[in-house]
């Protein structure tokens, strides 16, 4: 940690800072320049996370610059290899490119079964579908709730697909746990820390979506919440961030995929549907996800987007999804990966 | 609602769109230009919120432009007057400028009592203090929990101040309800819809902070969640948004205050502490909040920021808070308001 | 164009709006809803661009929603095919994937010649190099100026590569025109309209970089400035936008490539160097550019980044550039394109 | 400057870094922690600005953290007092609050004269008006050019107001210099460094607007360009930044005013018209500008916004401007300032 003093900081202030640093069990290395003094602090007390805000508040301190990454368990500093998430026959994070597909919301038996059969036939391994929907408007469709979970489970029975579905409140964890294979935490809940802590104590993988205005570091800190509670199976999902651009629904941060893989050992997938919000952009962006080394996709597919209760404009028709899978297939060959 | 067709949309597509609109019980008004056709749709079915995504998915449609604001209960279209939140002797949203002040987190009896006495003496009417803290890092201080709530309640006893404290999960609503006067929902939970719905069914006011990634319309939609469940007493709080600028912690959107007041009848307060993240900017921005017509402030004050468990760099010393209150006092006189 | 009146607009206001619209030679189509009136306006007067701000200022008008895209010459509405830029043996915008590579700045004869030979050997067709550098600090290296242009021309002689170099002020257009094959306008000058107008009257292609703060529509409007002055040969370049994320220098908007191709007939290339700012991210993002259908790349390569006068951290070593070219080669095969 | 090495950097890499630092004439202070080494570098060579990118490119370096502000002449480190801009009877940056007002564009003799008389009567001291307009669309009104400058000069004759007008290209500097009192550089040209350098060699003050996606540090670096060429009279103007929020045209960064004053000795004014883009928000935000310590305002006023060639929706009517001036008058009294 480096502490930069204001220009003109007094000797007394500098000494006070040094004393505070030593009080945390760190060693002190002041460097006196002509215009200002900076102080290096070396150590790793259990108060490592508290020392920064404390030092920022000490008189005469201009800024405090942490050197170590704040994410310990999900970062590369301690674990060198890759985390793979095993799901009875399915491995996420290795040489399999896992495609999760299905409608935004589970709407009816026919809709979810039709979709499940089509996406399975095209090569998807996991069925997505929301039973609890976080909607911007209280007047929008909020999901079929437990009925939706049951339909997902039935579709799993019939197709052998795994299922992933969103969890929006701690109160439903046990219920959703009875049905799902993978929990999903949506962008709006990426910093719902009460929810993350509880999901750190379940024994199923978690698909964690990046918040639409979250930095990569915050994203990894949210994964750290889960892993620090005992659940190592976190799958990161880049799904676009909010920017000034309004032509697309979000701005898909494609470089986040290799960046996250440099910073962390967790698998990373891409959501091209929310990432763009436009059906016509989903297929090219999916190929880009293969190109940057993603471990999979989560794609919205609906047999009749015009009838969808939500996210119709970004949902692919099953035929469009078939074409997407063929397109990425050739790239996966180049990469030596398989569906 | 206006539907704009793609250039070259076929007659068949246009007719299909018109049929779909009529199916929702709307009347149809096509306008044919040389290059494209746009279609006006008039009506107000109970499916008003579903019609937009459906129409966006119909072939040949380029875009759908809603005309009515999606927030009904918190908007100006139905209610012309102002909402005032009454709190036994305190009125938020009228000619009283209500200052809420206190530490980021409740840390100890001495800390919260000292602060309470000082902010009360300076003119604050509500004591703030977090017992449950949503922290970016799982290793940061997470709050004293119920012990913190008890200390807040004791401080209320001793000073007569009301209290406001943050709620971060539905599971704690009953517990927090036993102690607090005002519930606070933080920026990270602004779209935690499960939480908002439940807080729509309590009988205490809610201080709702704007999400750092949220537009004014989304902010008002979150307020709509609460009001639509039966709780009309929502206080909006502008606390800065996330932008590319890193010098300040957030970018305080000062124009949001008069904008929210034009769009909604709810009271609006400002959080200059999170809005800037820098102690030296809190006082000028607080005066600006009076200038744009805010109904109050929520300010972080700590007797010893250097010892604070969180947010030290943006917390005012009690003496600095006294000076702030004097500064805004003169502006309040100009505005004909009182503390 | 659709004009939405405020709720409660008077009959007199509505009529005044209709009169103003007719005054521009448009026909008027009012649609009266229960809560408000919206008015469709059909026509295409030569004042098309002035009518919107005028109508926004008329009393009783809430908002004005344009339906037609404002870019006429670069948009898809008038020209259906693709623009290809021909450069004696080189075609940008067809089935050739054109790689432009070289140092950020021309620094010395040895540096530019070495780089030119290496990037030519790897398959690049155009040599990039700045002779005039727009630098954030007045104390940073500002370029070798005409000396740099001469070195670029010599490198062209020796290698047969075309050259592209940045133009930063109208005063240098004639001078730069004596040397370069392609003019480049940088992100900071994307809305330097005086410069764009003058480059619309030269007879060489223009590589136009997207401003870091510019929407796709503004980007296309800047291209429209050039084309409207008579120069049809504009190559668009996505180079990342500014967002809240600080881990990468910019956020490369990968979906912008297919989006621009849907909106416009102009060729689109990608700058993975500025788009990420990190050497380790350049190669994966370059492959993503092929995946989304870009027509080429512009990449920073430096024989010794540690000695570079600018942009060292994002410059590839020649060996890294070789590897990048091999990586994209396999994807180009899949796409049926050639270098 | 602090250099942080990657974890596991070799001894050889560390020594190479130290050698490079010494090569720049700096002294070296390595601090070895358990997980990584950081190196302090102290000195101030004339290569201070080149050392950072060089060190970022050296193998084994993870990041380079500058400690000193890069703006020397406009920063507080060398000059403690305030810069005041003197303009024959007018002082900007002291206890006078200088209001500049007028239309976006000069459109006609009648328009500019009427406006000039009205804003003068209300207390403005400077007349604004564009003769050269940077417009997003090539089809929009581009200004009356020299005819507009002549009308501004005539209006000055008649009213005694000073004038400020925008300069958009180096080629017009001499011409505009013949007429104006203050040069204005618009947001889109804030990083048009060729223009800034030339304006650093004129002997008239420069009003420099913040770019819509420029950080405070970049803004000050642009001012540094001007001052480093010999022109000390730069007036900074906060005019709103671009964010994800679309309700307002820009997001006025009110905290930027006190922040700029802490970082720099230059005067700072606010543009509430572009800062909000909505007539109804201009007056409250203007009062906020006084509250945060701004040295003045620049406000768009038009006798008939409905007829304005540009920016009608954000222009005040003269009566509205009168009301604004009365509103800020009371705040100026509180602050001990005068118009």
pLDDT tens figures, A121-165: 999 999 999 999 988 888 888 899 999 999 999 999 999 999 999
- The pLDDT of D317-338, averaged and rounded, is 96
Q: B334 and D330 in contact (C-beta within 8 Å)?
A: yes
pLDDT of residue D221: 96
Confidence of residue C47 (pLDDT cuts 50, 70, 90): low
pLDDT of residue A38: 86
pLDDT per residue as tens digits for the range D33-80 = 777 888 888 876 666 667 887 888 888 888 888 877 788 899 987 788
Architecture of domain A2-65: 2-Layer Sandwich (3.30)
Closest to B31 (Cα-Cα) out of B40, B43, B41, B21: B40
Contact between D70 and C137 using a beta-carbon 8 Å cutoff: yes
- Tell me which chain A residues have a C-beta less than 8 angstroms from the C-beta of C279: none
Helix (H) or strand (E) holding B269: strand B268-270
- pLDDT of A8 over the 90 cut: no
- The single-letter DSSP state of residue A189 is G
Residues of chain B with CATH 3.20.20.70: 85-335
Calculate how close chain A gets to C263, using CA atoms only, in Å. 11
- The pLDDT of A270-288, averaged and rounded, is 96
Helix (H) or strand (E) holding D5: strand D2-5
| Residue B4 touches partner A, C-beta closer than 8 Å | no
pLDDT per residue as tens digits for the range C159-208 = 999 999 999 999 999 999 999 999 999 999 999 999 999 999 999 999 99
Calculate how close chain B gets to D286, using CA atoms only, in Å. 9
Q: B138 and A224 in contact (C-beta within 8 Å)?
A: yes
Mean pLDDT of chain A: 93
pLDDT of residue B80: 80
Chains that touch C (3 or more CB pairs under 8 A): A, B, D
pLDDT of residue A64: 86
- Residues within 8 A of A (CB atoms), C 236-255 only: 241, 243-248, 251-255
Least confident residue range of A227-236, A282-291, B138-147, C251-260 = B138-147
- The pLDDT of D97-104, averaged and rounded, is 97
Q: D14 and D2 in contact (C-beta within 8 Å)?
A: no
Q: Residue A243: closest CA among chain D residues belongs to which residue?
A: D244
The CATH number of the structural domain formed by A85-335 is 3.20.20.70
Mean pLDDT of chain C: 92
Calculate how close chain B gets to D145, using CA atoms only, in Å. 34
Q: Coil, strand or helix: which one is D281?
A: helix
Q: D54 and C306 in contact (C-beta within 8 Å)?
A: yes
Q: D299 and D284 in contact (C-beta within 8 Å)?
A: no
- Tell me which chain A residues have a C-beta less than 8 angstroms from the C-beta of D29: 29, 31, 40
Report the sign of the C-alpha dihedral through residues C113, C289, C254, A189, in that order: negative
Quote the CA–CA distance of B86 and A27 in Å, as a whole number: 54
Helix D318-335 vs helix D279-291: crossing angle, to nearest 10: 20
Q: Coil, strand or helix: which one is C251?
A: strand
| Residue D153 touches partner B, C-beta closer than 8 Å | no
pLDDT of residue D172: 95
- The pLDDT of B210-236, averaged and rounded, is 96
pLDDT of residue C309: 77
Pairing type for strands D182-185 and D206-209 reads parallel
pLDDT of residue B56: 84
* Among candidates B56, B137, B169 on the partner chain, residue whose Cβ is nearest the Cβ of A70: B137
pLDDT of residue A72: 85
- The pLDDT of D168-197, averaged and rounded, is 96
- The pLDDT of B112-120, averaged and rounded, is 97
- Tell me which chain B residues have a C-beta less than 8 angstroms from the C-beta of A137: 49, 70, 221, 224
Contact between B54 and A312 using a beta-carbon 8 Å cutoff: yes
Q: Residue C273: closest CA among chain A residues belongs to which residue?
A: A255
- The pLDDT of C296-304, averaged and rounded, is 96
Contact between A134 and B191 using a beta-carbon 8 Å cutoff: yes
Quote the CA–CA distance of A336 and A331 in Å, as a whole number: 9
Quote the CA–CA distance of A118 and A103 in Å, as a whole number: 12
Calculate how close chain A gets to D87, using CA atoms only, in Å. 33
- Residues within 8 A of D (CB atoms), B 269-288 only: 275-276, 278, 280-281, 284-285, 287-288
- pLDDT of C43 over the 80 cut: no
pTM of the model: 0.93
pLDDT per residue as tens digits for the range C117-161 = 999 999 999 999 999 998 888 888 889 999 999 999 999 999 999
Quote the CA–CA distance of A270 and D242 in Å, as a whole number: 27
Tokens of residue A21, six digits: 């640093």
Residue from D57, D239, D304 to probe the interface with C (highest C Cβ count within 10 Å): D57
Confidence of residue C103 (pLDDT cuts 50, 70, 90): very high
- Name the burial class of residue C319, with classes exposed (0-12), middle (13-18) and buried (19+) by CB atoms within 10 angstroms of its CB: exposed
- Tell me which chain A residues have a C-beta less than 8 angstroms from the C-beta of B315: 57
pLDDT of residue A47: 67
Least confident residue range of A242-246, B226-230, C70-74 = C70-74
The residue ranges of DSSP E strands in C15-76, in sequence order, are 27-32, 37-42, 61-65
Residue from B31, B44, B78 to probe the interface with C (highest C Cβ count within 10 Å): B31
Phi, psi angle pair for C149, to nearest 5°: -60, -40
Closest to B164 (Cα-Cα) out of B143, B179, B145: B179
- pLDDT of A68 over the 80 cut: no
Q: C95 and C337 in contact (C-beta within 8 Å)?
A: yes
Residues of chain B with CATH 3.30.70.1140: 2-65
Mean pLDDT of chain B: 93
pLDDT of residue A52: 82
- The pLDDT of B130-156, averaged and rounded, is 93
What is the maximum span of chain D, computed from C-alpha positions, in angstroms? 76
- The pLDDT of B215-238, averaged and rounded, is 96
What is the maximum span of chain B, computed from C-alpha positions, in angstroms? 76
- Residues within 8 A of B (CB atoms), C 17-76 only: 29, 31-36, 38, 40, 42-44, 65, 67-68
pLDDT per residue as tens digits for the range D240-290 = 999 999 999 999 999 999 999 999 999 999 999 999 999 999 999 999 999
Quote the CA–CA distance of B294 and B280 in Å, as a whole number: 21
pLDDT of residue B48: 67
Calculate how close chain C gets to B42, using CA atoms only, in Å. 6
Higher pLDDT, A51 or C302: C302
pLDDT of residue D27: 86
- The pLDDT of D207-236, averaged and rounded, is 96
- pLDDT of B23 over the 90 cut: no
Tokens of residue D255, six digits: 């905290």
Closest to C302 (Cα-Cα) out of C23, C123, C14, C106: C106
pLDDT per residue as tens digits for the range B47-76 = 666 788 788 888 888 888 887 778 889 998
pLDDT of residue B312: 78
CA separation, residue B128 to residues B133, B149, B211, B265, D91 (Å): 13, 11, 19, 24, 44
DSSP per position, C64-89: EE--S-S--SSBTTT--S---EE-SS
Quote the CA–CA distance of A239 and A271 in Å, as a whole number: 5
pLDDT of residue D250: 97
pLDDT per residue as tens digits for the range B271-323 = 999 999 999 999 999 999 999 999 999 999 999 887 877 777 889 999 999 99
Quote the CA–CA distance of A188 and A211 in Å, as a whole number: 6
């Amino acid at each position: 940690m480096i502490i930069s003093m204001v220009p003109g900081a007094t000797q007394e202030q500098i000494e006070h800072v040094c004393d505070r640093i030593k009080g945390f069990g760190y060693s002190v290395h002041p460097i006196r320049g002509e215009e200002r003094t900076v102080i290096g602090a070396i150590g790793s007390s259990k108060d490592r996370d508290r020392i920064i805000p404390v030092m920022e508040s000490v008189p005469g301190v201009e800024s405090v610059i942490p050197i170590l990454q704040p994410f310990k368990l999900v970062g590369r500093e301690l674990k060198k290899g890759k985390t793979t998430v095993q799901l009875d026959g399915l491995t996420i994070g290795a040489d399999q490119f896992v495609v999760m597909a299905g409608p935004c919301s589970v709407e009816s038996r026919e809709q979810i079964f039709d979709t499940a059969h089509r996406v399975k036939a095209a090569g998807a391994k996991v069925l997505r579908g929301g039973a609890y929907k976080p909607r911007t408007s209280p007047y929008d469709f909020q999901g079929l709730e437990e009925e939706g979970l049951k339909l997902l489970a039935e579709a799993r029975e019939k197709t052998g697909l795994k299922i992933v579905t969103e969890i929006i409140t701690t109160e439903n964890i046990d219920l959703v746990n009875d049905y799902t294979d993978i929990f999903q935490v949506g962008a709006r809940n990426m910093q719902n820390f009460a929810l993350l802590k509880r999901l750190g104590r379940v024994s199923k993988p978690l698909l964690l979506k990046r918040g639409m205005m979250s930095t990569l570091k915050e994203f990894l800190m949210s994964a750290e919440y889960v892993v620090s509670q005992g659940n190592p199976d976190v799958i990161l999902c880049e799904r676009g961030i909010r920017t000034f651009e309004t032509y697309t629904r979000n701005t898909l941060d494609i470089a986040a995929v290799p960046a996250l893989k440099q910073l962390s050992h967790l698998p990373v997938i891409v959501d091209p549907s929310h990432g763009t919000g436009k059906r016509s952009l989903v297929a090219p962006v999916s190929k880009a996800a293969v190109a940057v080394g993603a471990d999979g996709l989560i794609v919205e597919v609906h047999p009749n987007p015009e009838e969808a209760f939500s996210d119709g404009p970004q949902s692919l028709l099953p035929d469009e999804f078939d074409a997407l899978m063929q397109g990425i297939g050739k790239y996966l060959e180049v990469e030596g990966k398989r569906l």
